[in-house]
A and B are shown apart, each in its own frame.
Chain A
Amino acid sequence: MKEPRVTSLWTYANPKKFIETTDKLLPWVAMLALICLVTGLIWGFFFTPDDYRQGATVKIIYIHVPSALMAINAWLMMLVASLVWIVRRHHVSALAARAAAPVGLVMTLIALATGAIWGQPMWGTWWAWDPRLTSFLVLTLFYFGYIALWAAIENDDTAADLTSILCLVGSVFAVLSRYAVNFWNQGLHQGASLSLDEKENVADVFYHPLLVSIAGFVLLFIALVLLRTRTEIRARRTRALLARERMN
C-alpha cells in the first residue's frame, strides 16, 4: 500500500523549501502591506472627523496602536520561534527569531515616540511613569539585550541556543514586570482601543481605518521578517560556500 503523502508544516523549515515558497509569497505580502498601509493611513488622516476632545491629535492612533500591537506580537513570535528551535532545532526558526528582533524593537520605539508626541499636547508631558509606558520601556530593554546577545556570540548555533533561552526567561520576567509596574503606579493611559467588548472600543469612524492600518502593520511585519530571514539564510550559505572554497 502506498503511504499517503502528507505535507507537514515542517517541510517549510527546510531552508531551500523556505526560500522557494517565500519567493512566491513575499511580493504578494509586500504589495498587500503597502495597499493596506496607504489605504488605512490616508483614510484615517484625511477622511475621519476630528475628535471632539482631542482634536486632530487623535489621528496618531493609526500609527501608535498598530505599532504597539506589533511590538508585543513580535516578541510573541520570537518566543514561538525560539521554542521551535529548542524543540525541533530547525535553523530557519532560529533565524526568523533573530530577524524579528530589530523589527520588533523599531515597532516599540515608534510606539513610544508617537505616544510621547501625542502625550505632549494631551497630557501636557512627553513622558509619565504610567504602567503601560513603563512596561514598554522595559520591553525595549529586553529587545536591546536580546539583540546584543545575538551580536556578541560568534558561533551561530551557540548564539541561537543562548538567545532562545534568554527569550524564554525574558518573556516570563517581561510579564512579571507588566504586573509589577501596574502595582507600583496608577495609570494615565486609556484602556484598550480594541477589544471584544464592543462598548470599550473606539468609535466606529475611527475603528474601521484603524483595522485596515493594523492589517497593514501586520503584513509589513511579516514581509520584513520574511525578507530578513531570507537574507540571513543566504548570508549563512555564502559563508559556508566561502569556507568550502578556502578548504579546497
Chain B
Amino acid sequence: MIALLIRDLRLAMRAGGGFGLGLAFFLIVVVLVPFAVGPQSSLLSTIAPGVLWLGALLACLLSLDRILALDWEDGSLDLLAVSPLPLEAVVSLKALAHWLTTGLPLVLAAPVLAVLLNMPSEGYEPLIMSLLLGTPALSVIGTFGAALTVGLKRGGLLLSLLVLPLYVPTLIFGAEAARRGMVGLEITVPMLMLGGITCGAIALLPFASAAVLRVNLR
C-alpha cells in the first residue's frame, strides 16, 4: 500500500504529473477576481473567503482526470485490479495521493493569496481550518467522478458536470465557516457539518468508486 502511495506521489511530482498546475490555476483565479470586480479593498475582503474556497475547488476539479486516466491508459489499473490489494484500498490511496499533491498545497497557499484579497487577519485560522477539513472530501468525491468517467474519451467536461453538483454541500459549509470566522461569528456548526461530510465521504465513497471502476474494467 505504501509502495503504491509513494509511486503515485512520485509520478505526480515529476514532469508531466501536473503537480504545480493546480497551484498556478488557483493563483490565476485569485488574481483575476480583482480585475473582474474592481480593486476596492472593502469589497475584496468581504468576498475573500468565498473566492478562495471557489478557487481551491476549481483547482481541485482541474486535476481530477489525472487521478486515474494515466493508469488507465498504460494498463496499470488492470494490474492493480488483479493485485491482492482490494480495489477499495486502491481508490482510497489514489484519493489520498491526490489530496497530498493538490489539496494540501492549496491549503498552504490559501493564506498567502488571502493577503492579495485584503482578508482581515482574524479570518486566516478559520479559512485554513475549513480548507484542511473540506479538501479531503473534494479529493474523495473527485475520485468517484474520475472512476465514473475513466473509460470515456474526452470525459473531462462530463466529469465536471457530474462532480460539481456533488461539491455543493462541501462548498456551502466550507465557505460559510470561513466567512463566519472572518466576521467573528461562531463557526462550530458549519465546521462540524463539514467534518461530517468529509468523514462520511471518506468512509462510504471508496466503495462506490471501486464498484464503478470494476464496471469500467469489465
Q: Which residues of A contact B (CB under 8 A)?
A: 138, 141-142, 144-145, 148-149, 152-153, 158, 161-162, 165-166, 168-170, 173-174, 176-177, 179-181, 183-184
Contact = CB atoms under 8 A, between A and B. Distances in A.
Interface stretch (B94-102, B127-135, B159-167): B159-167
Contacts of B164: 141
Contacts of A173: 165-166, 168-169
Contact of A148 (B161, B189, B205, B218): B161
8 smallest beta-carbon distances between A and B, as pairs: A141-B165, A180-B169, A180-B172, A176-B169, A161-B215, A145-B162, A177-B168, A173-B166
Interface residues of B, number: 28
Interface stretch (B60-68, B82-90, B114-122, B150-158): B150-158
Contact of B158 (A148, A170, A174): A148
B190 interface: yes
A180 B148 contact: no
A248 B94 CA distance: 47
A182 to B, nearest CB: 10
A66 to B, nearest CB: 25
Contact of B148 (A144, A149, A174, A184): A149
A196 to B, nearest CB: 29
B131 to A, nearest CB: 17
Select the residue from B144, B164, B172 with max chain A CB neighbours within 10 A: B172
Contact of A152 (B144, B155, B165): B155
Contact of B173 (A162, A166, A183): A183
Nearest to B196: A176
B208 A169 contact: yes
B193 interface: yes
A146 B13 CA distance: 34
A132 to B, nearest CB: 15
Nearest to B157: A148
Contacts of B218: 158
